[in-house]
Amino acid sequence: MSDAETLLQEVSSYLNAKDVEHIRQALEFSGSAHAGQLRQSGDPYISHPIAVARILTPLHLDAPAIMAALLHDVVEDTHISNKEVAKKFGNPVAVLVDGLSKLDKIEFETKEDAQAENFRKMLLAMARDVRVILIKLADRLHNMRTLESMAREKIERIARETLEIYAPIANRLGLHDIYQELQDLSFMHLYPTRYSVLSKAVKVARGNRREVVGKIQEAIHQRLQEHHVTAQVHGREKHLFSIYEKMQAKSLAFSQVQDIYGFRVLVENIPACYLALGALHGLYKPIPGKFKDYIAIPKANAYQALHTTLFGPYGTPIEVQIRTHEMHKIAEAGIASHWLYKTTQTPFNDLHKKTHQWLQSLLESLSQSGDSVEFLEHLKVDLFPDEVYVFTPKGKILALPRGATAVDFAYSVHTDIGNRCVAAKVNFELVPLRAELKNGDRVEIITATHANPNPAWLSYVVTSKARGQIRHFLKTMHFDESAQLGERLLNQALSSLGVNSQDIDKTHWDKLIKDTTAKSRVEILADIGLGRRLNMVVARQLARVGEGGAHELPSGGIITIQGTEGLAVQFAKCCRPIPGDPIIGIIKKGQGLVVHTHDCPTLRKGRGSTDEWLDVVWDKHISKPFDVSIKLIVANQRGVLAKVAAAIADAESNIENVHFTNEGDYTSLHFTLQVGNRQHLARVMRDLRGIPEVVRITRVKTAPT
């Protein structure tokens, strides 16, 4: 019997005759479209879509999904268009096929961009219809089974992508068998020698331990009968990649890995799970810390079971999973249980709800990512296999990736909670926001109305939602501040042309927006603030003046620096200006206005650059503190550091940072202080000079190393 006939026989076992006929038509259409095409192995190309469809039939996917599996490459690899697919087989099938088609017709700068953009499209389609990812996983599984004929470099790239993205997605959707096979195939292709050696070692161990495993299985079964627990007991073997991961993580030789075999106990209901657990803990002693209750607290993919590890005979650790038959169905098929067991009364609402929430969080990070590669980073973070379970003050359980912090927790509760958080309590004690959470922690977030996300949070948050929301807020804040700066720069330019900014009305702006293809007035102002547009050019366009002197500096008007402009105005680290220093501003493309001191050495080197120079002055009423660096040479005497610190505090200055280098009888002290202006700095330095041990003091205008 051919593969095509086998496929039709398999779908006829659970679909009606009309659906089977539609699948047969899709099979013939795909065969005709791919006629003459060969895979790199030399097999007819049609063998691939048939194999993909056959991987899906054990999951009992519906007719449109099987048809899309058969047609998933016709748009990409043949002359057939998606419109033709829609006309022939209906729009639902065409939508699935489109979600599976790559973006080969669009040119990308790098392979990483192309890969990331393909994932974006696939996940958007997946959010609309989860069958897209089920077909894609089947497609990837068959490709992994038939990788041998490809070039070594391509094999490694595909295998690594599978291990990092596709296998974790299968795990996240609860597709246990597909997940394990993708991992093992990736392992085989990435490390063929290690795979071969480990595979042979497991086969030998299987023979050596068969008798022991049989005795343990019989003992478990007998103990459960004694406690009147009706159960099925199955021995199971860890898959190769799982063994390899354990050897790598714990630096073990294969002979040191004891728990290659485990046991699965299937019972009738939840109370029986706990009865079975008690019975087995009476048979063999449990290993402390190795018990997990995934029934009370299910995994994010809706997996439920009791896990325990016991001291078996001969000192062998025994892993046991205890679950109901219904839990077993979800554990084996995950989200596909919807199709596989749709005739039963099994409630899959929680599974679908969690899957939908996960997809929505992916879409949220998709909409906020600045680029495709950033989104791919978010996706990889979201596929962390390990999770911690923590509690809100009201007792609700939240699952977070291992390593998640209080900030991650805040954003998982609600975006506003994350944006406004200022402190956190874990188990009723105040902890830093960067504190990592552990299983069972009770977490309470303290918020403040006027608080905003801190850019430093990006260095320790791990969830894509937290990272995406922080970046989104900072970009929006930067945009708003740049627009405010741009408006000040534009008003200065208009003033130098003798034009009153009040005379520029909506019609002027509408025409400018149309001529420049900008989206809005605010976008143009932000572009000016970020240095993407010259204020003088925009001023001339608005005033309907000729652009002959577009690159000339304004003849009048000075920008006032208030120190509160935020990200739109930056103070150069090469000279670290403070109020009172003579300053000059430069518009840097993409950075906004950068303020330097007049005597900045870096500034002198760049006099010939094309950046726009602006006259800037300090505002007379600045209350914001500024960082400044000073260096002291002091005699090595006891208590000198305390004297210096006390003098700085008495001069009403804060110490931000201090480090020192020993030079024999003398020590160089490097301080970063906060001062209000040059006069304040002069007062601090004067007080320090009054300390007998201070030999020399200087201001350092470069950032400390």
Active site residues: 76-77
Q: Return the amino acid letter for 277.
A: L
In the numeric block, the tokens 């000198």 are attached to: 640
Q: Write phi, then psi, for 366 (nearest 5 degrees).
A: -65, -45
Mapping DSSP onto H, E and C, the string for 443-462 reads EEEEECCCCCCCHHHHHCCC
Please classify residue 566 by burial: count the beta carbons closer than 10 Å to its beta carbon, then call 0-12 exposed, 13-18 middle and 19+ buried: middle
Please give the DSSP secondary-structure letter assigned to residue 553.
P
C-alpha pair distances (Å), 555 with each of 46, 168, 494, 551, 610 = 73, 61, 11, 12, 18
Q: Write phi, then psi, for 662 (nearest 5 degrees).
A: -90, 130
Query: For 129, how many CA atoms within 13 A lie in the half-sphere containing its CB?
Result: 19
Partners of 430 in the beta sheet?
A: 425
Q: Write phi, then psi, for 661 (nearest 5 degrees).
A: -130, 135
Please give the DSSP secondary-structure letter assigned to residue 402.
T
Two structure tokens written together for 39: 């895979």
Give dist(CA 12, CA 342) in Å, integer: 17
216-224: long-range contacts, CB 8 A cutoff, minimum separation 24: 216/263, 216/312, 216/313, 216/318, 217/263, 219/283, 220/263, 220/265, 220/280, 220/283, 220/320, 223/279, 223/280, 223/282, 223/283, 224/265, 224/276, 224/279, 224/280
